């Protein structure tokens, strides 16, 4: 006849916590790298579509990444740097919205919606790309 027995298990929660924290830091690193990679890819796509009569608008591209740990936020746009278009005398920030939104304008190089379309193109495979960057760290 089998006897009921007891099993005693001791868990060192300090070690478990250290390992979990190390994993969280690796995920954080991967997430930050994925955010930078996303901005760089969107930049590349967008710069291939931005109208370029003087390069002022293209040269005003920027991205900023803020946050840490669980929340990274990227701001991507045009209109920084203060460059002046030699043809119009205006800074990119003064005309970028009009250039981006005017679907009726014809450009010898580039097109309207150059940033919006770049983000949409990137989003098609975004989760797979982010997962790949995070996996590299684990």
- Which of 54, 16, 45, 9 lies closest to 121, judged by CA? 45
Q: What share of the chain is helix, strand, coil (3-state, %, to 5)?
A: 50, 10, 40
Write the pLDDT tens digit of every residue in 76-87: 999 998 889 999
Identify the pLDDT of residue 40. Answer: 96
pLDDT at site 135: 87
**pLDDT of 2 above 80:** no
Name residue, tokens 């989760």.
Answer: 127
Compute CA distances 47 → 7, 20, 21, 51, 56, whole Å: 64, 40, 39, 9, 12
| Tokens, residue 53 | 């009569």
Condensed to tens digits (0 to 9), the pLDDT of residues 29-85 reads 888 899 999 999 999 999 999 999 889 999 999 999 998 767 889 999 999 988 899
Every domain of the chain and the residues it spans: 13-137
Provide the token pair at 117. Answer: 């379309």
The angle subtended at Cα 86 by Cα 83 and Cα 87, nearest 5°, is 130
For 115-128, how does the pLDDT look when each residue is reduced to its tens digit (9 = 90+)?
999 999 999 888 88
DSSP, res 91: B
How many residues appear in the chain?
138
Instruction: Give yes or no for residue 13 having a pLDDT over 70.
Output: yes
Q: What is the pLDDT of residue 16?
A: 87
| Mean pLDDT on 6-18 | 87
**Dihedral sign, Cα of residue 110, residue 117, residue 56, residue 40:** negative
**Terminal CA-to-CA distance of the chain, rounded, Å?**
48
Model pTM above 0.75: yes
């Amino acid at each position: 006849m089998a006897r009921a027995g007891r099993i005693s298990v001791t868990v060192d929660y300090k070690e478990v916590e250290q390992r979990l924290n190390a994993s969280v830091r690796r995920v954080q690193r991967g997430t930050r790298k994925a955010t930078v990679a996303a901005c760089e890819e969107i930049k590349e796509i967008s710069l291939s579509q931005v109208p370029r009569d003087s390069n002022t608008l293209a040269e005003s591209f920027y991205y900023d990444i803020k946050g840490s740990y669980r929340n990274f936020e990227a701001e991507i746009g045009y209109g920084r740097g203060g460059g002046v278009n030699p043809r119009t005398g205006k800074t990119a920030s003064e005309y970028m919205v009009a250039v981006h939104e005017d679907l009726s304008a014809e450009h010898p190089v580039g097109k309207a919606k150059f940033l919006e379309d770049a983000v949409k193109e990137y989003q098609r495979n975004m989760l797979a790309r982010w997962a790949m960057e995070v996996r590299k760290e684990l």
